[in-house]
Structure formats: C-alpha cells, structure tokens
C-alpha cells in the first residue's frame, strides 16, 4: 500500500501545531505544511498532488485547508474540488483553526443537553451567538439554523459585519440568520434577553456576559462557552460543565472542555476516516457535525 500523505494548506504565516499533531497522531505517514497560500494557488497545488500519483492513490492523498476565515476556507475547498480531473481525485478536509470541528461539537453537545433535560430539539429555539464574526460562530449559526432554530449573530463591533456574514450564509447555505449589536454591555444583555440558548464563541479570556446579564434572560435553557481561558466568556459557566445547572433559573451550562472533548474526537475521527476511505472524501463542518452527533450521543 502507498504511503499516506497529508498536504496542509494555510493562508496564514504558520500552520497550527494543534492540527499537525492531530494529523500525525491519527496516523498519516507524511505531513507537509504550506503557508501563505492564496486562493489562486490552490488549484495548481491540488493538481500537483493528484497527477504525481495514480488514481488509485487518491484515498492515500489528502489536502487539509486551514486558516482563520470560514468563507475563505470554504472558497478554497470549492477551488480544490474543481481542480480534480477524474479519475484523478484526492481527499479534502477543511477545518480552519480547528473551528469547523469546534462549531460542530458545540452544537452537538448543546443539542444533547437540551434533549436530555426534556427541552426537545433546537428547532424553533431562539439562539443568540456571541463572537459572531469568528469561524466557530459561523459554523454554529449555520448548523443551528439548519436544525430549525431562530438564530441571531451578535457582533462586538455592531451589526454591519455580522449582517454581511449572515447574508453570505443565506447565499451559500440558504439559511436565515439575524444580526444583533453586541458592542456594549447593554446591547449584549438585550441580545441575550429573549434567547433560549446562548453560545459564546468570542475571544479567549474575555467575559461577554456577566451573571446579572445571564440572569436577565428569563427563558434561558442552555448557556455554552467555548472559551477555556479565564475569565469565562459566560460568567458562572464552568469549563467542565456538561449540562450542569447554574444560576438561579433553570438554565444548564456547557463548558469549553465538554465541547473540546467532542471536538478532539471529531477532528481525529475525520482524519482516521480519510485514512481508511475506499473512495476520496470531501469534509467540511457539516460532515464534522454528523460525526459530532454520533460522538456526543
């Protein structure tokens, strides 16, 4: 059997050591990072990879797409797929900053906690997502909207950027996502007040909602935070919480390590699936979500 080769493409200066470690531990024989890659360069890199091996080695050759922007990663994935010349193909896996698998894990764990508490599925739930311009928020918004939730992205710098992102989601995935102002403490409290689910995907070490703001959300069922660096993004949400009650109401907490456990197993699991696939595969955050649902239970 031919050796498994992973080409890791990033538009950034550095490739994430996290993703390199995950790939090596999953069992790839050769892992090669490429940094500073532009969208225009993806086609030629993919074709160099497919034409240098036989069509039968397509399942042993993978291109991983990194970076820190959801839209760019998806565009690079589209260009890479369009570069195939059948029967010459290979595996593709997009997970910029590990955030596609994190967003997938976040929604899967929140859905599990809702169901276990007897609150039903995400369908028709009001979901407010903070850190709305980031990749985790992008994935979570699309996935929650696909599940039938009423989703609002809150932007730390107002509504313009998150509104544009929501428009891109509708164009690319056909989902409706609203935009809210999250630029002040008062605005953030207002954005959270009517939510049944609050997801915090903002920068590490920044408190987005304090205990009083969360308590004001009287209908809150689940508060989930992907930030493992103190202080918490949502005050009172413990990093280990996996459906643990918090505050004075009926809300349940989901912490960063509960999400991280599913995220880690999802990213590793997708890498392993690529190594054992019978035909070339293409994975994005929707594929990650399917596996995260299996893992979360």
Q: Class for domain 5-94, per CATH?
A: alpha beta
Reported as a single tens digit per residue, the pLDDT across 29-78 is 999 999 999 999 999 999 999 999 999 999 999 999 999 999 999 999 99
Q: Class for domain 99-259, per CATH?
A: alpha beta
Q: Decide whether 5-94 matches 99-259 in CATH topology.
A: yes
In this predicted structure, what is the pLDDT of residue 250?
87
The mean pLDDT of the chain is 96
In this predicted structure, what is the pLDDT of residue 249?
77
Mean pLDDT of 211-225: 95
Q: Helices 17-26 and 256-276: crossing angle, nearest 10°? A: 50
Mean pLDDT of 168-176: 97
In this predicted structure, what is the pLDDT of residue 257?
97
Q: Helices 256-276 and 285-296: crossing angle, nearest 10°? A: 110
Domain range summary for the chain, segments of one domain joined by +: 5-94, 99-259
In this predicted structure, what is the pLDDT of residue 52?
96
In this predicted structure, what is the pLDDT of residue 1?
76
Whether the predicted pLDDT of 154 surpasses 90: yes
Is the Cα dihedral 169, 64, 92, 72 positive or negative? positive
Reported as a single tens digit per residue, the pLDDT across 243-274 is 999 887 789 999 999 999 999 999 999 999 99
Whether the predicted pLDDT of 144 surpasses 90: yes
Mean pLDDT of 184-209: 95
């Amino acid at each position: 059997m031919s050796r498994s080769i992973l080409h890791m493409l990033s538009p950034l200066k550095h490739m994430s050591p996290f993703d390199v470690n995950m790939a090596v531990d999953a069992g790839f024989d050769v892992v090669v990072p490429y940094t500073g890659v532009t969208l225009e360069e993806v086609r030629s890199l993919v074709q160099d990879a497919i034409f240098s091996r036989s069509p039968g080695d397509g399942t042993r050759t993978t291109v991983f797409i990194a970076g820190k922007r959801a839209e760019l990663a998806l565009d690079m994935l589209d260009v890479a797929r369009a570069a195939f010349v059948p029967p010459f193909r290979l595996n593709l896996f997009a997970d910029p900053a590990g955030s596609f698998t994190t967003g997938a894990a976040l929604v899967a764990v929140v859905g599990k906690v809702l169901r276990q508490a007897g609150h039903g599925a995400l369908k028709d739930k009001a979901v407010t997502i903070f850190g709305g311009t980031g990749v985790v928020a992008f994935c979570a918004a699309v996935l929650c909207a696909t599940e039938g939730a009423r989703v609002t992205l809150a932007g730390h710098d107002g509504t313009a950027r998150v509104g544009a992102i929501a428009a891109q989601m509708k164009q690319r995935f056909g989902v409706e996502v609203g935009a809210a102002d999250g630029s002040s403490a008062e605005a953030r409290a207002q954005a959270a007040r009517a939510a049944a689910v609050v997801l915090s995907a903002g920068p590490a070490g920044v408190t987005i909602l304090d205990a009083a703001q969360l308590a004001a959300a009287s209908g809150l069922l689940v508060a989930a935070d992907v930030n493992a660096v103190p202080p918490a993004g949502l005050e009172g949400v413990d990093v280990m919480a996996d459906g643990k009650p918090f505050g004075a109401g009926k809300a349940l907490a989901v912490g960063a390590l509960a999400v991280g456990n599913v995220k880690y197993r999802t990213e590793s699991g997708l890498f392993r699936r690529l190594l054992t696939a019978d035909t070339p595969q293409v994975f994005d955050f929707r594929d990650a979500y399917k596996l995260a649902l299996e893992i979360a239970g």
